[in-house]
Amino acid sequence: MLRKIFAACYPFEESEADIDFLSSEIIIKPVDSGRLSFAFIARQNENQVFLKIVKPGFVRSNIPFSVLCTEECRLHSTIPTFRTYRGANGKLYQAVPEKLANVAAAALSLFSGQIITLTEAAKHGIDCIPESLAEIPGGRRGQIALMQTLGEYIVKVSDAMQVVTNNLPADIDTADPAGFIIGRRVAQDVFTIDSTLTYLRTDVDKHNLRMHIEKLLPNLGQSNEAQAFRRGLEKGHLGIMLMRFNQLEKRIGDNLTKAPAQNVPIHNEVKSANIGAVYNATDNRWRITQSFDFDNIAFGSNRNGDHTPLEKDLGRTLSFFAFDATTGEFYPSNAKATIQGFLQRLPRKLNTDEIERLKDYLQLGVVTSYLWRSSYFAEELCGKASSIQLARLDPGIHVLQLEAFDHWLATNDLHKMISTLQDTHAMERHRKISAKALRFRNSDKCKIKQNNGTIKTYYEQFDAAHEAIYNTID
C-alpha cells in the first residue's frame, strides 16, 4: 500500500527523485513516528529518499511554509538540509489520494487526504537520534559530545533562517514569541476546558478543574499508557503543570519587559524527529547529517514586533536531552554540555537576565512537553475512538523531571555554571568568530554571496574556524 501511495504522489517520471516506488527492488523502512507524522526511508540501489506523512486530524496548513524554509536553508547555509522533490504537477508537497487502484478503502483510510513530503536522504547518515539517552552510541562520553553538538546547532539553525525571514510572504504573521498562547490552546484543546479556567486563579477554579477531569477519566482506554495517564490525572498532574505554566508566563513576561530578547527568527527545538547525526567513536565527535521539520517557525519583524528568545530553543531542547526518559532524573553534565555548545555560537555573553530567562525556559520546556505528550490521549479522553494506536509514554514523567530540576536548582547555582563556561579563553575565541559572522550576515557582501550562490562556501570558513578551536583544546 505504501508503494502505491508514494508512487501516486511522486510518479517516477515526474518526481526527480530517481526512485521508482513500484519497483520490486525498492525497500521502504519506517524510521520514526512522532506526534504529527509517520516517517519512512525508501531505498533503491544507491538512491535514498526520506518521506513524511502527516497523521490524521492534525493541522497541516503550515507545511508549505515549512517546505519553503527547508529549501532556503539548503541553498543558503551549511546546515545539511534535505532537498525537497517536486511531485505530480510540480508541487513541493502532495496530498495522499482518497482512492487508489487495488487498495481497500479501509486500509487507505489512515492516510488518505493527508500531506506527504519527499526529500533526499543523507547517504550513510540517515539514522535519527534515539529518543532514549541510554541508546546513544558512546555511552556517557558520547552523550556529552552529542549534547554539545546539539547546543551549537540551535544557534546555527537560527542564523540560517535569516534568509527566510528577510523575504517573508506578505500574509505570514506571528504573535506568540514565547509560546504561551499556543501552550494554553493545547491544554484547552486536549482537555476541553475553557481557557479562563486554565489560569487557576481561585480555589473554585481548582475545584472545577478537578471535577471536569473526573468526568473525563472514564473515557480513557485500557492500554498501559492510558492507565498511566489516568493515574497522573488522578494525582493532579494537570493542575501542577498549569500552575507552573502560569508562574512561568508571568516571570518570563516580566523578564522580557525588563530585558528584551535578541531578535531571533526561529524556534525549532532539536529532538529525535527533527534531525539525525552520525558518531565518530575514535574522535568522540558527532556530525549532524540531516535537518527537516521547520514547521515550528516563529520570528520577529517590523510588521508584528515579535522577538523570539533564543533561550526558548535551548530550554525546549534540554527538556528532551537533560532528563532521564524513565526516571525523570536531571543530568547536569548533559545540560552543561548543551549550554556550552549553545554559547560557542553566540556573538556575545548571556547577561544575568538572559540566564534567569533560560532557567525559566528550561522549566517551560518540561511543562509544554507534558501538554504535548498529553495530546496523544486527546481523542479517547474526550470519548472518541482513537484511530492511531501507538506506544505513548506516560506524560507523568515530565512531572518527575520538573521535580528533579527544582531539587537541583535548590542546591546548585545555574548562573555560576553558565558564567564559568563563558569566562574562558576558548569561549572568547568562539565569540569573536560568531561576531564576525553576525557582521557578515548584516552586510551587503552577504547579499551578494546569496545572489551568486557562494554563501554556503563562505559559511564553511566560520564552521572550520570553530572546529579549529575544538582541535586545539583536544
Instruction: Grade residue 149 by pLDDT with cuts at 50, 70 and 90.
Output: very high
User: So what's the pLDDT on residue 14?
Assistant: 82
Q: Give the span between the Cα atoms of 326 and 97, in whole angstroms.
A: 40
pLDDT in tens, 272-324: 767 888 889 999 999 888 887 765 555 555 555 556 788 888 888 898 889 98
The ranges of the chain annotated as CATH 3.90.1200.10 are 133-179+247-423
Cβ atoms < 10 Å from Cβ of 435? 13
In the structure grid, which three cell numbers stand for residue 40, read together?
Answer: 519512512
DSSP 8-state code for residue 443: S
User: So what's the pLDDT on residue 303?
Assistant: 56
Beta strands in 283-353 (DSSP E): 285-291
User: So what's the pLDDT on residue 408?
Assistant: 97
Q: Which residues, including other chains, have CB under 8 Å from residue 37's CB and lie 6 or more apart? A: 52, 53, 54, 55, 273
Cut 0.75: pTM above it: yes
Look-up: residue for cell 522533490? 85
User: Residue 113 in contact with residue 98, Cβ under 8 Å?
Assistant: yes
Cβ atoms < 10 Å from Cβ of 4? 16
Residue at 127: amino acid letter: D
DSSP 8-state code for residue 68: H
Q: Give the span between the Cα atoms of 143 and 63, in whole angstroms.
A: 32
User: So what's the pLDDT on residue 441?
Assistant: 85
**Listed range (141-150, 179-188, 257-266, 308-317) with the worst mean pLDDT:** 257-266
Q: Is the pLDDT of residue 167 over 70?
A: no
Q: Is the pLDDT of residue 364 over 90?
A: yes
Q: Give the span between the Cα atoms of 280 and 142, in whole angstroms.
A: 9
User: So what's the pLDDT on residue 271?
Assistant: 73
Q: Which residues, including other chains, have CB under 8 Å from residue 58's CB and lie 6 or more apart? A: 35, 36
The ranges of the chain annotated as CATH 3.30.200.20 are 2-120
Instruction: Grade residue 367 by pLDDT with cuts at 50, 70 and 90.
Output: very high
User: So what's the pLDDT on residue 381?
Assistant: 87
Share of the chain above pLDDT 90, in %: 39
User: So what's the pLDDT on residue 57?
Assistant: 60
**To which CATH superfamily is domain 133-179+247-423 assigned?**
Aminoglycoside phosphotransferase (APH), C-terminal lobe (3.90.1200.10)
Give the rounded distance of the alpha carbon of 36 from its chain centre: 12
Q: Give the span between the Cα atoms of 465 and 315, in whole angstroms.
A: 27
> What is the residue-averaged pLDDT of the chain?
85
Distances (CA, A) of 213 to 193, 208, 209, 231, 239: 9, 9, 6, 12, 10
Q: Give the span between the Cα atoms of 442 and 462, in whole angstroms.
A: 15
> Strand pairing of 47-54 and 37-44?
antiparallel
User: So what's the pLDDT on residue 474?
Assistant: 56
Q: For residue 207, with 0-12 CB atoms within 10 Å meaning exposed, 13-18 middle and 19 or more buried, which class applies?
A: exposed
User: Residue 44 in contact with residue 26, Cβ under 8 Å?
Assistant: yes
User: So what's the pLDDT on residue 238?
Assistant: 94
Q: Is the pLDDT of residue 60 over 70?
A: no
Mean pLDDT of 200-223: 93
| Architecture label for domain 2-120 | 2-Layer Sandwich (3.30)
**Listed range (85-99, 284-298, 316-330, 392-406) with the worst mean pLDDT:** 284-298
Give the residue from 42, 14, 49 showing the smallest Cα distance to 120: 49
